[in-house]
Chains A and B, each alone.
Chain A
């Protein structure tokens, strides 16, 4: 087992289920109960280093929160950093008006270096991987993670193997392959890919960011919560709506708010967090709605492939966070997802991938059902960019008119009805 001396604010790893402690190594599950391991921090060291002033003086990236992240080697030059994070938090009054929400904001993570929030987790995970002595990076992915690992590994000069379902959107495979990774297209679902990678991770000395590096990786998602609070003027929002695949991002946003409040960086006030899934892959929202809390795995059938995880590892914790904060969960069918992508684009100028459509479609459902009050300061997380999933819009939108280059023809066309020429 590779290990390193801990520096910075990391004390080690701890089992979230049974509390057993481990050194800060590349290990993701408890040897006793298989519960997920989490990074344990020295809270006093964090409080001394993570002041508002120190954070505000830091880089315009997620690394401004370094004392709150699992940093194993404390030299910024050792970071695997393409500039992920510190993405815009923008008010969304036009979308809010359409949904009946008076104080709606969007966390626009489409503008990350590889165009999804995965750059946050990958930057943190591969930085830890280098500190732990790994020279090869790897991941199991529904697409966005592979894209991000390939980009960051290229920057860091690390060999890398990314495993994806073979039926992934062509744009995601091409956009990943261009960085020069070894792309392993697996005939099967994401859950099949995960299974294969779990076995490979036991055999090869590779840093699988979402397997053996998962404790470090998952912490990267906290930076979404840190940024939302800092960008609101060091205030917590009333409500956050986040997409759920494994459920990890939602859990870590909630954890981030708790940490900020515990460290005195924000006033400790109640917040609510709600989760969104596609109806075609909704094991977590189904468990929420039926009230059992028992997550039954499903075989996904949805256009929201980046959220198509049928066996969500962090689902139980997502259910806990939503229930504890008084949030809710919703899921949306594929046609609603496409409608929501279009609504977001035409009201707020953001082109989201299908996961963003899921978030907005579920936000719409939650608002309509009164689960989000009109006046709540609500932040929706837009996790990835729409050029990755243009397939979902095929036949939906296209030129309004097709004309020859003559002025008369143009004038005749625009004085009549739209032709709606759909490719």
Chain B
């Protein structure tokens, strides 16, 4: 169950500058845990004190926003790309 995680610029200080990481995991929670094992400390930056995804983060599994798909429980298929994207203002 190998997935590719795309790391946004502000998080690359936690990955030694790497823009992607390849980890194992069958859902978003497992992917976050695997990322934290590969890059200790990254979990604290993705999850708030209550263990939920931080409110200014958007996480996508392929093209699906995980908030429409179960949040941390959202399934992550083998070979998927997980994108972590800070929320932006707009219009």
- Residues of A with Cβ closer than 8 Å to B? 17, 27-36, 118, 140-142, 144-145, 190-192, 194-195, 197-199, 201-202, 210-211, 214, 217-218, 245-246, 248, 296-297, 306-307, 309, 311, 313-314, 316
Q: Is the CB of A311 within 8 A of B58?
A: yes
Find the residue from A202, A314, A316 having the highest chain B CB count within 10 A: A202
Shortest Cβ gap from B43 to chain A (Å): 13
Q: Is the CB of A190 within 8 A of B90?
A: yes
Count of inter-chain pairs, beta carbons less than 8 A: 94
Q: Is the CB of B9 within 8 A of A306?
A: no
Tell which of B21-29, B30-38, B80-88 binds the partner.
Answer: B80-88
Cα separation A98 to B57 with both chains bound (whole Å): 43
Q: Is the CB of B90 within 8 A of A198?
A: no
B91: chain A residues at CB < 8 Å are 118, 141-142, 144-145, 210, 245-246, 248, 306-307, 309
Shortest Cβ gap from A134 to chain B (Å): 15
Q: Is the CB of B19 within 8 A of A202?
A: yes
Q: Is the CB of A27 within 8 A of B10?
A: yes
Q: Is the CB of B8 within 8 A of A145?
A: no
Beyond A191-B65, A197-B88, A313-B90, whether A34 also contacts B57 by CB under 8 A is yes
Please list the 9 inter-chain residue pairs (A to B) with the smallest Cβ-Cβ separation, ordered nearest first: A313-B87, A202-B9, A29-B86, A246-B89, A245-B91, A34-B56, A198-B85, A248-B89, A246-B90
The 18 sampled A-B contact pairs (Cβ below 8 Å) are A29-B86, A32-B45, A34-B45, A34-B57, A141-B91, A145-B90, A191-B65, A192-B63, A194-B90, A197-B88, A199-B8, A210-B91, A214-B89, A245-B90, A246-B88, A248-B91, A297-B65, A311-B65
Q: Is the interface of B mostly helix, strand, loop or mixed?
A: mixed
Beyond A34-B57, A202-B8, A316-B55, whether A141 also contacts B90 by CB under 8 A is yes
Q: Is the CB of B57 within 8 A of A218?
A: no
Nearest residue, chain A, Cβ from B12: A202
Cα separation A142 to B9 with both chains bound (whole Å): 24
Q: Is the CB of A30 within 8 A of B10?
A: yes
Cα separation A217 to B45 with both chains bound (whole Å): 25
Q: How large is the interface on B (under 10, 10 to 19, 20 to 34, 35 or more residues)?
A: 20 to 34
Find the residue from B45, B58, B60 having the highest chain A CB count within 10 A: B58
Q: Is the CB of A140 within 8 A of B67?
A: no
Cα separation A307 to B62 with both chains bound (whole Å): 26
Cα separation A267 to B25 with both chains bound (whole Å): 57
Nearest residue, chain A, Cβ from B67: A297
Beyond A27-B10, A246-B90, whether A33 also contacts B45 by CB under 8 A is yes
B89: chain A residues at CB < 8 Å are 36, 210, 214, 217-218, 246, 248, 313-314
Q: Is the CB of B56 within 8 A of A313?
A: yes
Shortest Cβ gap from B61 to chain A (Å): 12
Nearest residue, chain B, Cβ from A298: B68
Q: Is the CB of A199 within 8 A of B88?
A: no
Find the residue from A140, A214, A313 having the highest chain B CB count within 10 A: A313
